[in-house]
Amino acid sequence: KTIFCCFKRCGNSGSESAVIKATGILGLVDAIEKYDESKGVKLSTYAEIRIRGQIIDELRKLDWVPRNIRKWSKEIELAILEVEQNKGREATAEEIAEYLGIPVDEYIRRAEKVMNSGLISIETNIGNEEDDTSKLWQILSINDDTPDKYVEEKELKEVLTKVISQNLDEREKLIITLYYYEELSMKEIGEVLNLTESRISQIHTKAMLKIRKELEKYVKYRPNEGQ
């Protein structure tokens, strides 16, 4: 069941599926061999993390994220950085689109594609089912240069909470809270804040890009244990 859940979240189609399933089985064997009951973590939870990590590593080897999406991710991050440095304030979707030389609708489409490329699952939790942070954690992916196996998930969840607190403005925090923790739809959030659904989507996408960027920086510069 654990392998199936991980495969469903990270799954691919076609001839790659057999490779991914085999990777999941190897991950389960590895988890059973390395499981330490004294750590106070359920075997199923530990196994899921190990299996998911190995499947993600294998998917990366198979280059499952299209190159154009990788390219868009870098371009959007650079655009946000440049515009905000020049303006001295938060960049709007229109300004980011203008910097990229594309229509606003196309910018939104690309930004959503970038975010969706990191989707594992929004509906299911890892670890404590009452831990709301895990719902948000699961849609955040770290880029290819950051090996998941060296990152303690509990520690990253704590960092995630800190990143949200320190890097998002009040409106972004509110939208993240309403969407992931209160489970309101984009349309419902728009009604609460008196904004269009499209505008809520723009703010959400920008907030998620900020969060991912800060998490990637954290993992990149995190010292190895023992150093």
- Other CB atoms within 10 A of residue 125 CB: 16
Query: Is the pLDDT confidence value at 93 over 90?
Result: no
Burial class (CB in 10 A: 0-12, 13-18, 19+), 193: middle
Q: Please state the φ and ψ torsions of residue 92, each to the nearest 5 degrees.
A: -90, 165
Mean pLDDT of 184-198: 88
Domains and CATH numbers, the chain: 1-64 (no CATH), 67-114 (1.10.10)
Mean pLDDT for the stretch of residues 134-141: 49
Residue 99 has a pLDDT of: 94
- Ranking 53-67, 104-118, 151-165, 189-203 by mean pLDDT, the lowest is 53-67
Per cent of the chain over pLDDT 70 is 59
pLDDT grade for 98, boundaries at 50, 70 and 90? very high
Q: Give the mean model confidence (pLDDT) for residues 182-209.
A: 85
Distance CA 42, CA 72 (A): 39
Q: Is 194 left (phi over 0), alpha (psi -120 to 50) or beta?
A: left
- This prediction has a pTM of 0.47
The answer to whether the beta carbons of residues 138 and 123 sit under 8 Å apart is no
pLDDT in tens, 40-88: 777 777 777 777 777 766 665 655 567 787 788 888 888 888 888 888 8
* C-alpha R_g of the chain: 19
- Cα–Cα distance between 24 and 5 in angstroms, integer? 10
Cα separation of the two ends of the chain? 38
Instruction: Please report the pLDDT score of residue 219 as a whole number.
Output: 63
- What is residue 85's predicted lDDT score, i.e. its pLDDT? 83
Hey, what are 90's tokens?
């938060």
Binned at pLDDT 50, 70 and 90, residue 123 comes out as very low
